[in-house]
Chain A
Amino acid sequence: MQRNQTRSLLGWIGTYALWIGMTLITLLPIYWLFVVSARSRVELFGRPTLLQTTFYVQNYIKPLTNPTFQRYLTNSLIIATSNALLVAILAIFATYALSRWKLSGSDSIFFWLITNRMAPAAAFILPLYLLFTGWFRIGSTTLFDTRIGLILLYCLFNLPFAIWLMKGIMDGIPIELDEAAFVDGANIWTVLFRIIIPLAGPGIAVTVILSWVFAWNEYLFAASLTSVKARTITTGLAEFVTVTGTNWGEMAAVAFISLLPALVFLAFVQRYIVMGLTFGAVKE
Chain B
Amino acid sequence: MRSNRMGWGLFAPTLIILGIMGLLPFIYVLVVGFTDWNVFSATGKPEWAGANNFRRLVFDAEFLSSMGRTLLFTATVVVSELVLGFLLAHALLKDFPGKAVFRTIHALPLMVAPIAVGATWRLLTVPGFGIAPFFLERWFGIDYNIGSHASHAFVTALLMDIWHWTPFVTLTMLAGLSALPKEPMEQALVDGANRWQVLRHLTLPMMMPVIITTSFIRIMDALRIVDEVYLLTGGGPGDSTRFMGIYIFRVVMQRTDYGYGSAISLLVYYFTLVLCWMLFIALTQVGKQQE
Q: Report A's interface with B, CB cutoff 8 A.
A: 12, 15-16, 18-19, 22-23, 25-30, 32-33, 36, 44-45, 48, 50, 90-91, 93-94, 96-98, 100-101, 103, 106, 109, 113, 116, 118-131, 152-153, 155-156, 159-160, 163, 182, 188, 213, 216-220, 224, 234, 237-238, 240-242, 248, 251-252, 255, 258-259, 262-263, 265-267, 270, 273-275, 277-279, 281-284
Contacts and interface: CB of A to CB of B under 8 A. Distances in A.
> Which 7 A-B pairs give the minimum distances between C-beta atoms?
A101-B7, A123-B265, A217-B113, A127-B25, A262-B111, A120-B224, A122-B245
Contacts of A275: 175
Contact of B15 (A109, A127, A131): A109
Interface string B89-108: 00100101010001111111
Nearest to B167: A26
Given A121-B224, A182-B1, A281-B176, A126 B113 contact: no
Most-contacted residue by chain A among B2, B8, B10, B106 (CB, 10 A)? B10
Given A19-B98, A94-B10, A101-B6, 6 more contacts: A19-B91, A48-B130, A119-B269, A219-B113, A241-B234, A255-B116
Interface string B251-281: 0110000100110011011001000000000
A172 to B, nearest CB: 16
B220 interface: yes
B281 to A, nearest CB: 17
Interface stretch (B119-127, B145-153, B184-192): B119-127
A47 B6 CA distance: 68
Q: Main SS of chain B's interface residues? A: helix
Contact of A127 (B2, B29, B168): B29
B213 to A, nearest CB: 5
A103 B4 contact: yes
A197 to B, nearest CB: 13
Given A103-B4, A220-B227, A248 B123 contact: yes
Given A100-B2, A101-B2, A121-B245, A126 B124 contact: no
15 contacts: A33-B119, A36-B129, A93-B13, A113-B14, A120-B268, A124-B26, A125-B253, A220-B227, A238-B231, A259-B116, A263-B111, A273-B171, A274-B171, A278-B175, A282-B179
B22 interface: yes
Size category of the binding interface on chain B:
35 or more
B245 A50 contact: no
B21 A153 contact: yes
Contact of B25 (A26, A124, A224, A252): A124
Contacts of A248: 123, 126, 129
A276 to B, nearest CB: 8
Interface in B68-97: 88, 91, 94, 96
By secondary structure, the A interface counts as: helix
A119 B26 CA distance: 10
Given A26-B108, A259-B112, A45 B17 contact: no
A98 B12 CA distance: 11
A161 B123 CA distance: 32
Contact of B96 (A15, A29, A122, A160): A15
A91 B18 CA distance: 12
A81 B147 CA distance: 38
A98 B230 CA distance: 39
